Structure formats: C-alpha cells, structure tokens
Amino acid sequence: MNGLSADLRKYVTVASLVIAAIASIVAAVIVKEKLPMVVSIFCGTGIAIGNFTIMALAGEKAINMSADAARKKMTISYIIRYVIYLAALILAIKIPFFNPIGVVIGFLTSILALYLIQVLNTPGNRDKMKKLLRRAK
C-alpha cells in the first residue's frame, strides 16, 4: 500500500507543479503585478500538495484501523486540512503582497492534477505517462 500511495503522491506533486507553472505563465501575461501572482500560485500549490499528502497518509493509516477509529482519523484530517486552507486564504487576503486569486488557483492545482492523472491513466496513455515521469526524475 505504501508504494502505491507514494507513487500517487509523486504523480500529483509533479503534475501540480507543472499545472502551477503553466498557470503562472498565463497569469504573467494577463496580470499587471506578475511577481505577487506567480508567488501566490506557487504558495497555494505548495499548500495543496501538503494537504494532499496529509490526506493520503491519513487514509493509509485509516485502512488498518477499526471503522470508528478510521472515521475519527479521517474527520480530524479533514478538519486540519481545511483549517490550513482557511488560514492560508486569510493570510493571502491580509498580506498585501499576495494575490488571493493566485492562492486559490494554486489550491486547485492538486485537484486538477488528480483529474488529469485519471485521464492519462487510461490503458492507451499509461506508457506515455510512465515515460514522462521517468524524464521528470
């Protein structure tokens, strides 16, 4: 189980960073203040990757627990992850350098990465995905 979770976390991390880079390039063309937007996107992406890792590790541990203990573990993980999102968003709003929209875009990168990984993991695309990830190492 640990190998599968580690592989998925690696795929999501790489895909999230690629999506963040593409979003940053697009944002740099559109937005006047480029640096705050790019920094905000990557900060949001880092938080999203961290939250995905927390979720994956909690789920991995919950598999070996009783149903009640697993439910409690996942609920606590859920609350912690959303408190982190909320704190990051509040900080992005309060600190003038950060762009809250960029932070939210960063939050969405891991979700988009999961969808893209699922699409790319269809039987015809698996080999292409493996080759791409080997190059990323």
Could you list the pLDDT tens digit for every one of the 137 residues in the chain?
Answer: 455 578 888 889 999 999 999 999 999 999 998 899 999 999 999 999 999 998 888 888 888 889 898 899 899 989 999 999 999 999 999 999 999 999 999 999 999 998 888 877 777 666 766 776 677 66
pLDDT of residue 13: 92
Sign of the CA dihedral running 125, 126, 132, 136: positive
* Entry pTM: 0.80
Contact at 8 Å (CB) between 44 and 103? yes
Domain range for residue 78?
A: 2-136
Looking at the structure of the chain, the number of domains it has is 1
